[in-house]
Structure 1
Amino acid sequence: MDIVVHEATDDTAVLECSGRLNMVSAGAFRETVAKVVEGGRARLVVELSGVEFMDSSGLGALVGCLKTARQAGGDLRLAAPSEQVQMVLKLSNIDKILRTYPDGDAAVTNWA
C-alpha cells in the first residue's frame, strides 16, 4: 500500500492511500499515522478512493488509528472510500463510528 501525507493545516493531515489495506500493510499504516500524530497533526483524514481492497486487519488498523488520534486530542475521518471499502465498513457497522465524507476537502473543512 502507498501512503502520501499532505499537511492540510497546522493540526490536520490528509493521508492519501492506494492499494490494499490488509494484514500485510496494516502495520505500516499504523506506523505512518503514529508518526503524523507525533508530529503534531492529530486531525486525520484518510482518503480511501485508491484502496481497492480492505480486510478485517485494515479495519482494525483504522479503528486503532482513530484511538491514536483521539488520545492526542484529534479525530480520524474517512474520505471517498471505494465501493469495496464502503461495503466492509457497512457490514462491520464501523461506518457508524468512522465518519465518511465525499472527498478530502469536505472532511478537512467540516471539523465540528
Structure 2
Amino acid sequence: MGDWTVVSMTGEIDLATAPQLRQEVVRVTSGGILRLALDLTGVDFMDSIGLGVIVGALKRMRAHGGELVVVCDEPRVLDLLRLTDLDRILTLRPSLDAVVS
C-alpha cells in the first residue's frame, strides 16, 4: 500500500485479543515507519481495552512524527469511537483505498 504499513485485525478486540494487536503495533512501529493504517474493517466488536490500544498506537506514531489512520466501516465500532470522542482525534477512513487517495 505505497508507503503505508497496514496492521489488520478481525473479529473482536477485547481483553483476550488486544494484547496481540498491541504487540503487532509495537513491532511494526519499532522499525521507524511514518505511516500506519490500522485496518479494522473485519472487526465487529471492540471494548475499552481495544480503544486503549488505538490511543497507544496514536501516541506512539505522534511521538515519532508519524501518522495513524484507522480504517473502519463497522457501525458499532464507529459508534464507539464517536461516543468516546475519539473520532475527533483519529483520522478515520472507510476503506484502505480511501487511505491512499
In structure 2, which of residues 66, 81, 84 is the aligned counterpart of residue 89 of structure 1? 81
Whether the 8 Å contact between 1:36 and 1:42 is mirrored in structure 2 is no
Q: Distance in 2 between matches of 1:83 and 1:37?
A: 28
SS in 2 for 1:45: strand
**1:9 and 2:2 correspond:** yes
Whether the 8 Å contact between 1:80 and 1:101 is mirrored in structure 2 is yes
The aligned residue for residue 18 of structure 1 is 10
TM-score by length of 1: 0.82
TM-score by length of 2: 0.90
- Tell me which stretches of 4 or more aligned residues in structure 1 moved more than 3 Å: none
Give, in angstroms, the shift of residue 105 of structure 1. 2.0
**1:77 and 2:53 correspond:** no
The root-mean-square deviation of aligned C-alpha atoms, in Å, is 1.4
**1:30 and 2:22 correspond:** yes
Give, in angstroms, the shift of residue 81 of structure 1. 3.2
Q: Aligned residues, how many? A: 101
What runs of 5+ residues in structure 2 fail to find an aligned partner?
Answer: none
**1:59 and 2:54 correspond:** no
Give, in angstroms, the shift of residue 39 of structure 1. 2.0
SS in 2 for 1:81: coil
Whether the 8 Å contact between 1:81 and 1:100 is mirrored in structure 2 is no
**1:102 and 2:97 correspond:** no
Q: Distance in 1 between matches of 2:52 and 2:73?
A: 16
- Structure 1 window deviating more from structure 2 (52-61 vs 69-78): it is 69-78
SS in 1 for 2:73: coil
Whether the 8 Å contact between 1:17 and 1:50 is mirrored in structure 2 is yes
